[in-house]
Amino acid sequence: MYESRYRDAEHMELFPRMKMRDIGLMRASITLSSLVVAVLSLLVSRTAVADDWNFVIAPYLLVPTITGDASLGRVDNAEVDLSGADIFKSLQLGAMLQGEARHASGYGVLLNYAFMDLGNDFSGPRGYTNVDTDVFQGILEGFATRRFEYSGGVVDGYGGVRWWDIGIDVDASTPLGDVSYSRDVDWVDPVIGARWMPRLSDAFRLLLQGDVGGVGAASKFTWCAQGGVIWDASGTTSITLLYKALGVDYESGTRGTSSYFEYNTITQGPLLGLVFRL
């Protein structure tokens, strides 16, 4: 877990700096670029290991709703309630990409990265006449996988880490005056889970997946659940239609002080993906 960084309004005026969500966006660009380079490296070496390895790359679109609570410094228990329409209205940039590599032995690796840069303003908690909030949320997952095949489908067990990268900038007007907070927080949670894909017909498969993690290692708890159908349009291309929910409960610092940060949210919504098997 990495140390949080804080700026108050006075420091922001005397020493102008980039907003926390802008720093998060820079890290997102680096992370996504690294993931693309890793996938391309695998493709370049594929000819040498074609008999032993299978590769999958899947860009996807999630239409999310974010609900929960966030606390930043002395701005406590701010309700987070963003519908899919709110997010698309506020979205300045977003990207989602997943890649998998699996050996003939059944062992493999899975990488997944998604980020959203929400650049508009949102209403704030009770007691504040106005709160303007800019939010960046980035999530990187890296898992080792093991596939078990049976006559009706496959089961994948997996374990690894989920890296959360959250940047929040808050400008709040209160009866006592104006306050500004910025926080750039990232942490890593251990995660373990399973994915079940039974075949429904020659062209369709079911997908059910879930995992849990955190348990005090960084966050108090994190979990993910998703389910839906996969249409195998051809031998190399599939289309997935799922519903996904991802939750986290994270807390750091001392409540009531500028060091305090809490992020207790659920991001959920329908997911449409395009899967390429290489």
pLDDT of 124 > 90? The answer is: no
pLDDT tens for each residue of 235-247: 999 999 999 999 9
Mean pLDDT within 199-206: 97
Which domains are assigned to the chain?
5-277 (2.40.128.100)
Short-list 116, 119, 98, 213, CA closest to 163: 213
14 or 42, which is more confident? 42
Helix-then-strand count for the chain, H and E: 4, 13
Q: Which amino acid is at 247?
A: G
End-to-end CA distance of the chain: 36
Angle 23-252-245 from CA coordinates, rounded to 5°: 75
pLDDT digit string (tens) for 26-79?
Answer: 555 555 556 565 655 655 555 555 568 899 999 998 877 778 877 776 666 555
Taking a C-beta distance cutoff of 8 angstroms, is the pair 170, 180 a contact? yes
Torsion angle, CA of 241/94/260/131, rounded to 10 degrees? -110
Selected residue with higher pLDDT from 163 and 36: 163
Cα three-residue angle 140-142-147, rounded to 5 degrees? 140
Residue 259 near residue 253, CB atoms below 8 Å: yes
pLDDT at 119: 53
The contacts of residue 47 (CB under 8 Å, 6+ apart) are none
Q: Is the pLDDT of residue 4 over 70?
A: no
* H or E stretch covering 46: helix 46-49
